[in-house]
Amino acid sequence: MAEKTTIFDNINGELRRRHLTQQDLAKTIEIDRRTWSKWQDKNDMPASVLLQIAKWLNVTLDYLTRDVHAE
């Protein structure tokens, strides 16, 4: 069985396509890199942050949540 796609997979994929790093993202949305890692480990982040990321990447929330299924 294939691994489930997470929002973080989609965000990290978009960062790679744009030759950006998680550190670039963390600096832009003004969070500590450790906070990002904690969210990623828990597969959870505030909706307000997801919206900030979508705006920064100029993509929709639908795009970032594609192929993601609730547990």
- Secondary structure of 25-48 in the HEC alphabet? HHHHCCCCHHHHHHHHHHCCCCHH
Separation between Cα atoms, residue 65 and residue 62, nearest integer Å: 5
What tokens does 51 get?
A: 């919206």
CB atoms within 10 A of CB 29: 15
Total domains in the chain come to 1
Q: pLDDT digits over 27-36, tens only?
A: 999 998 889 8
Residue 47: give the domain boundaries. 7-64
Domain for residue 59, yes or no?
yes
CATH at residue 13:
1.10.260
Domain for residue 24, yes or no?
yes
pLDDT more than 90, % of the chain: 66
Mean pLDDT for 28-50 is 91
pTM flag (> 0.75): yes
